[in-house]
Amino acid sequence: MKSRLREMGQNAKLMLDFEGGSFKMLDCLFIGSATKDTLLMVEAPPASDQRIAASAVVHACGGVASVAASAFQKLGGSAGLITVVGDPSDVTDFIASNIAERQLPYVDLIRVPGTDSPFSTIQVEASGKRCITHFGGCIRQLTLDMLDKNVLADAKMIHLGGLEEHFCGELAAYCKRNTGALVSVDGGNLSREATDRMLPYVDVFIPDDKTVAKVLGCSPEDACLYYAERGVRISCVTMGDKGSVAYAGGTFHYAEPVRVSVVDTTGAGDNFHGAFLYCLAQRWNLDYTLRFCNAFSGLTCQGLGGLAAEPTLKETLRKMEE
């Protein structure tokens, strides 16, 4: 495993490919946020100026790119992760230690001096619904010149998630113009302006239905068409307990959700993205891909935090047979 904590240092070169050509070591390079999440089980979120008691607490490593990379690796893919941490602290140490324990083939933790590492406080209700207070910290400081361009050029797929939205668009454009990688973006919580700016450079774009309703004010199907008309090859919308829908090659694809005992939905979307990219690496058809991703992400909702209940490939396939 290649892993380092650096302050603008150098990286080892990775070798991989998307469509033909040279052999490359990583299937997917994930770039974006990694956080320390403090999850609290509560009956209901507090009102303003109210104090409530939590029945349980769990500290977990979250973050859009971090969780997606973990899912991809758990299923058997070869995942790399580039993320950012701040000055030495309990939060920084927690993130670095957790990522190291996963033994990803490639990890680059870029330290930005004078900043704090990202963290979230998440209040989880008995239904699995949650309220999130997030502090992005150093993730807002990531810029293109901090990244090793050799790593980007040698990636088969690149997934962007949890980045500052202007930089996300800039990085998507760079990757599309300068690498042979398939470019994937987690579209959750991105503004319409940022989305429109980056879509011409994105191959796979997957937001959630709440983002679609807020940003576009339309149905998931119309959103998929909107993205496709602007250059996206595979557009998909996750819909929580309503399943998922995707559009590619002029055809819509649907999959129903799986039935699970929901504890916490934190990270379900991030896990969906990691599973989706794993399916692309296997070249599975979209109908099967959506069913697989719904099963995988659904099973992750049975634990507190996005990583606690990530299933294996075998467990996911077994769930699909139910």
Region 72-80: mean pLDDT is 96
How do residues 245-300 score in pLDDT, each as one tens digit? 999 999 999 999 999 999 999 999 999 999 999 999 999 999 999 999 999 999 99
Range of the domain at 207: 2-47+54-320
Q: What is the CATH number of the domain that holds 174?
A: 3.40.1190.20
pLDDT confidence of residue 6: 52
Per DSSP, the residues of 263-310 read: S--TTHHHHHHHHHHHHHHHT--HHHHHHHHHHHHHHHTTSSSSSTTP
Does the pLDDT at position 234 exceed 50? Answer: yes
For the chain, what is the mean pLDDT?
92
How do residues 119-152 score in pLDDT, each as one tens digit? 999 999 998 889 999 999 999 999 999 999 988 8
Domain count for the chain: 1
d(CA 47, CA 295): 34
The pTM assigned to this predicted structure is: 0.92
Q: 171, 150, 151: which is closest to 160 by C-alpha?
A: 171
